[in-house]
């Protein structure tokens, strides 16, 4: 999917919502555990109920790997279901991968070819040659961690190198990498006040913004400092939407939570 197609979808749906599909079997309605594939059954119901309110789905791979092969089968079924039934939706494998070059190529194949995701999240610690193998896939997007939503972001990301924070070095350095036009960045909603500075460095890039909802980030602040002419934001909510209810009405209640965010977004888009 091209960035233009993503922007077009945002305008049509008046939404820049991404829904995180982080399925924990302890938190889903317990009657679903009788299904042959409870994770996929849960995802399918959530997707069918929310696809018109969001522009992206983001399964976090940890929640699938924790269930072993059954988890990977559920992940495969989920991405295939989205691609077949709602091909307009942007898909993100939230995997936070990164390794030496030939190994990163294998990760890129895993998420872009074996599982046909539009994008994957990557970690920057190993530098240029750990990220460029992802960028080499010209019709795909690579979403690199910059400033994350958790407390641990202050351990290294905000420390200063030559008077400038590590995450700013990550942003600036990455602009010179081959096929940098395929980069998007993760910036946590809990750190909205940093967004003005970030936009000075990467005015045009899309930002994936987790941390609205359960983690306490504020949508208005994120938009005030982070939005650009193409919107340029994908706001993720996971637990706040998918676990709105653990009863029969879970999909309906998830849609209600998604709709509340979508309406707030429609107002902001004007």
Q: Which is nearer to its own copies, 174 or 182 (CB)?
A: 174
Q: Which is nearer to its own copies, 24 or 88 (CB)?
A: 24
Q: Looking at 70, 96, 128, 224, which residue is catalytic?
A: 96
Report in angstroms how near the CB of residue 229 gets to its own copies at its nearest: 30
Please report where in the chains the tokens 């970690």 appear, as a residue.
123
Report in angstroms how near the CB of residue 171 gets to its own copies at its nearest: 11
Q: Which is nearer to its own copies, 11 or 169 (CB)?
A: 169
Report in angstroms how near the CB of residue 195 gets to its own copies at its nearest: 19
Q: Which is nearer to its own copies, 134 or 206 (CB)?
A: 134
Per residue, what are the HEC states of 21-53? ECCCCCCCCHHHHHCCCHHHHHHHHHHHHHCCC
Q: CB of 43 within 8 A of CB of 74?
A: yes
Q: Is 238 helix (H, G, I), strand (E, B) or coil?
A: coil
Report in angstroms how near the CB of residue 268 gets to its own copies at its nearest: 26
165: tokens are 């924070």
Q: Which is nearer to its own copies, 94 or 118 (CB)?
A: 94
What is the separation, in whole angstroms, between the first and last Cα of the chain?
25
**Spatial separation of the C-alpha atoms in residues 260 and 133, rounded to whole Å:** 38
Q: CB of 19 within 8 A of CB of 238?
A: yes
Contacting residues for 179 by C-beta, under 8 A, at least 6 apart: 132, 135, 136, 138
Q: Which is nearer to its own copies, 87 or 163 (CB)?
A: 163
**Spatial separation of the C-alpha atoms in residues 226 and 199, rounded to whole Å:** 7
Per residue, what are the HEC states of 160-223? EECCEEHHHHHHHHHCCCCCHHHEEEEECHHHHHHHHHHHHHCCCCCEEECCECCCCECHHHHH
Q: Which residues bind its own copies (CB under 8 A)?
A: 22, 24, 60, 62-63, 65-69, 71-73, 76, 94, 96-101, 103-104, 106-107, 109-111, 114-115, 123-131, 145, 148-157, 159-162, 166, 169-170, 173, 215
Report in angstroms how near the CB of residue 1 gets to its own copies at its nearest: 21
Report in angstroms how near the CB of residue 63 gets to its own copies at its nearest: 5
- Specify whether 224 is catalytic: no
Inter-CA distances, 164 with 97, 123, 128, 171, Å: 25, 19, 19, 11
Active site residues: 96
């Amino acid at each position: 999917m091209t960035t233009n197609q993503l922007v077009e979808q945002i305008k049509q749906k008046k939404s820049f919502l991404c829904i995180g599909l982080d399925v924990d079997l302890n938190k889903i309605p317990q009657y679903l555990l009788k299904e042959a594939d409870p994770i996929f059954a849960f995802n399918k119901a959530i997707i069918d109920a929310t696809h018109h309110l969001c522009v992206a789905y983001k399964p976090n791979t940890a929640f699938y790997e924790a269930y072993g092969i059954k988890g990977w089968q559920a992940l495969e079924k989920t991405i295939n279901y989205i691609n077949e039934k709602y091909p307009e939706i942007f898909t993100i494998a939230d995997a936070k991968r990164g390794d030496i070059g030939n190994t990163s190529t294998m990760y890129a194949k895993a998420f872009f070819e074996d599982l046909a995701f539009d994008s994957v999240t990557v970690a920057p610690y190993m530098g240029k040659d750990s990220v460029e193998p992802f960028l080499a896939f010209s019709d795909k997007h690579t979403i690199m961690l910059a400033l994350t939503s958790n407390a641990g972001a202050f351990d290294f990301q905000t420390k200063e190198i030559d008077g400038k924070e590590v995450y700013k070095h990550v942003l600036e350095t990455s602009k010179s990498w081959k096929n940098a036009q395929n980069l998007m960045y993760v910036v946590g909603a809990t750190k909205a006040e940093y967004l003005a500075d970030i936009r000075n460095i990467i005015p045009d890039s899309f930002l994936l913004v987790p941390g609205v909802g359960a983690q306490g980030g504020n949508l208005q602040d994120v938009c005030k400092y982070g939005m650009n002419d193409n919107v340029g934001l994908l706001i993720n909510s996971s637990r706040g939407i998918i676990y709105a209810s653990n009863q029969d009405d879970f999909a309906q209640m998830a849609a209600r939570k998604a709709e509340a965010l979508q309406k707030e977004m429609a107002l902001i888009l004007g």
